[in-house]
Structure 1
């Protein structure tokens, strides 16, 4: 690996160590963003919900017409092999990526026949307690995505390698002093944030955009919905819009790496009393109790 490779990164490209060679400049993932990927984390070197992530990757690959070239069992073995190269007990971010492969330049997908796969582990970045103690700010950003309809070609719900809209939304939000962006479809439906699902607490009810609104079918999203049912909290998946954020008592984001992160301000509006809310805390504590970190301190200190 070259000097630009992040410290501590290890991986396999098509089952071979990264040091043995890089991605071809003719790989369609490089040329067109023609691929799908998953991101998950480990807890004490143990990958969290790996089989669920592999299942979602397979569904996304099917949606875009890419064949997964190996079995789940083999990919799991590759993940274990990569993690064995990381310090024992350390926490990592895992990226599993699949492109259509190498072929002559051109949009025709049949120009590539052998998919490229990547299994990559990097050190889990430090997640500051202030993120959970104070929460973050977000701005609403309308993106050029309509709510999916029958018969419409759409990448909604697919973790596509072409993440340009999300990157631009985050760049715009950071440039205007916000931590993240909450994405609205062109017809006003709340979708997700740039890299997480979004939940709204209104009175006793927990709400999140339905899959029909176009968010990713998040692994952590599903876990939180399961926990809510277990705790007797009414949980609803429905079409939401900006007005649901303005009137919310609490808002939080969910992702595999950051778990549950409170949102305390949306544009010029304080969420609730401007501090992380009690249901967010309760759900996060219950989520942690399901992980190998159960019994450890909670991230807000």
Structure 2
């Protein structure tokens, strides 16, 4: 596999990271995950804009433009011949003697990147899955996609230990987001989701879903709701770069709606699928076949 580190593309055996990297010592950094479908970057612009925004929020200069970062991601994709999966990009505040305050301004950030083969979660997309509610004890800047993920890790593990795929964070009685996702409920044909503030990460797939809902004239309410209200939804789902639009059929063992992925969730999934390069390409190929023009 080919990796990227600070301007160089390296073989795995050439990669080395310092124990004095502030990402290792403090989680002092930010990251992004960009999905790849059929060898094509999906919503890369939006992910990279958020990477830069997250870096700015923690007062960390990022010495790359979106165009340069896109080129890095594209080369990683090409060099590793990635078809379906994702590209991981991480930026830390650099290598310096361990001290809580920022290092001197001449310490450059450390940026790394690599690819991961990650097929679509077809079974979960089709059949739905379960969530487990967990008290949200994280810090108050969840809008920053930082490396500080211990709260998310503990929540995810609790969900897994209860045979659920994802955790559902609840703070002050209000549903926030998943441990690695945003959440949506549907009630009486209206799509409900938490507003994009400091309590959640404004997910890229979340934004895609909201645009799809607008295009389909599905009413949307961006307002906090309680766990009891979540359990009373007709449909529920969570979204992320790798989870896409995953239906939720139980929360804390309690059935949501009819206990199967609902019609509006399916409608949103179908519209999302229509934007995925690999599925669009497959559809075009089938159309060419039916017209007798396949090459």
Same fold (TM over 0.5): yes
Aligned to 1:95: 88
**8 Å contact 1:104–1:111 — kept in the other structure?**
no
Q: Structure 1 stretch 207-216 or stretch 189-198: which is displaced more?
A: 207-216
The answer to whether 1:165 aligns with 2:151 is: yes
Q: What displacement does 1:10 show?
A: 3.1
1:127 is paired with a residue whose SS is: coil
**8 Å contact 1:190–1:213 — kept in the other structure?**
no
**8 Å contact 1:224–1:287 — kept in the other structure?**
yes
Deviations 1:57-98 (A, max 9, x none): 11111111111111211111111211111226x112111111
Q: What displacement does 1:103 show?
A: 0.4
For 2:242 and 2:224, the matched residues in 1 are separated by 26
Within-5 A mapping of 1:143-154 = 143-145=136-138, 154=140
Aligned to 1:137: 130
1:198 is paired with a residue whose SS is: strand
The answer to whether 1:279 aligns with 2:264 is: yes
Q: How large is the RMSD of aligned CA atoms in angstroms?
A: 1.7
* Structure 1 runs, 4 residues or longer, greater than 6 Å off: none
Q: What displacement does 1:296 show?
A: 4.3
Aligned to 1:257: 242
Within-5 A mapping of 1:41-52 = 41-52=35-46
The answer to whether 1:57 aligns with 2:51 is: yes
Q: What displacement does 1:145 show?
A: 4.0
**Could you tell me which of 5, 10, 18 is aligned with 1:13?**
5
2:95 is paired with a residue whose SS is: coil
For 2:46 and 2:121, the matched residues in 1 are separated by 27
**8 Å contact 2:143–2:198 — kept in the other structure?**
no
Aligned to 1:107: 100
For 1:296 and 1:282, the matched residues in 2 are separated by 19
Q: What displacement does 1:111 show?
A: 4.8
**8 Å contact 1:94–1:119 — kept in the other structure?**
yes
Deviations 1:212-266 (A, max 9, x none): 3611111111111111111111011101120221110000011112210001000
**8 Å contact 1:213–1:239 — kept in the other structure?**
no
**Could you tell me which of 120, 124, 147 is aligned with 1:127?**
120
Aligned in 2, Cα 1:130/1:21: closer, same or farther, shift over 3 Å? Answer: closer
What's the TM-score, normalizing by structure 1? Answer: 0.88
* Structure 2: gaps of 5 or more residues: 284-295
**8 Å contact 1:10–1:122 — kept in the other structure?**
no
1:290 is paired with a residue whose SS is: coil
Aligned to 1:5: none
* Structure 1: gaps of 5 or more residues: 1-8, 147-153
Aligned in 2, Cα 1:295/1:18: closer, same or farther, shift over 3 Å? Answer: closer
**8 Å contact 1:92–1:123 — kept in the other structure?**
yes
